[in-house]
Structure 1
């Protein structure tokens, strides 16, 4: 009898793993759609918004560091940076440690526009998270962190 219960438990675990994979795929699709709609409202291409996000989170960055993080060819990045600079989203500053080099930094005066467009999702996330205990949130945060790292590693492997 215990092997039947155990087998059922293994089956349940497999079903849950499949549900998680399916949910992550759907989440990726929905977040991509949300980002696309935000970008459209801001008159930014999807890749422009991705690069802006990387600069906001990790900047100031050199263009080559941004190209690596975004998985883009440096020549492709030139057009993106031109659009972001024209739209007053970023500035290209001289690197104080090497006057020949450039650092990209996000201009904060337009950040409110982005926050406003993501307010609905941020409010929903707050409600969802408030329904979990602190220890459950720790597990969820760990899962997301580890899944993100797995995605980064898989992307890096494909880039080689």
Structure 2
């Protein structure tokens, strides 16, 4: 294969990967919207709750930064999520003037139950790959997630 032909084949393969990532993003967004609807959450609420569940308790400003949201918009959202029983606000033991947000553990179980079908599908899919292939896939997805986070941060700063 010539260098030109190899370059074209490589470009097609890279574009196929990018298309697959965009397709996955769309399908996951639709799944999240459907689950959010079942839980009577607004768009974006599930993202905030997922950040709290994955990253652990944090203050409202830190959550706003992680979610790339303006801090001023967070108060109303957090009030609604607290009223709905999704999170708690606790005084920070290190700084009594600050608040720490925690997702309520019983609600985490409720969310996981709705994702159980997708988790089973992913388990079945992963079973078709070798450990070495899963290592490459996990590395790619982790690095793609990091790149996305960096671009989100960059866009937030401009």
Return 5+ residue gaps in structure 1 as ranges.
Answer: none
Q: TM-score under structure 1 normalisation?
A: 0.94
Whole-angstrom distance in 2 between the partners of 1:101 and 1:77: 15
Return 5+ residue gaps in structure 2 as ranges.
Answer: none
- CA deviations 1:9-60 (Å, max 9, x no partner) are 3322211111111111111111111101110000001211111111111121
Whole-angstrom distance in 2 between the partners of 1:79 and 1:36: 20
Task: Identify the match of residue 69 of structure 2 among 55, 69, 72.
Answer: 72
Whole-angstrom distance in 2 between the partners of 1:52 and 1:45: 11
Task: Identify the match of residue 94 of structure 2 among 76, 94, 97.
Answer: 97
Q: Which has the higher helix share?
A: 1
Give the structure with higher Rg (CA). 1
Q: After superposition, where does 1:1-160 map in structure 2 within 5 Å?
A: 3=2, 6-160=3-157
Whole-angstrom distance in 2 between the partners of 1:128 and 1:13: 25
Q: TM-score under structure 2 normalisation?
A: 0.95
Whole-angstrom distance in 1 between the partners of 2:108 and 2:66: 21
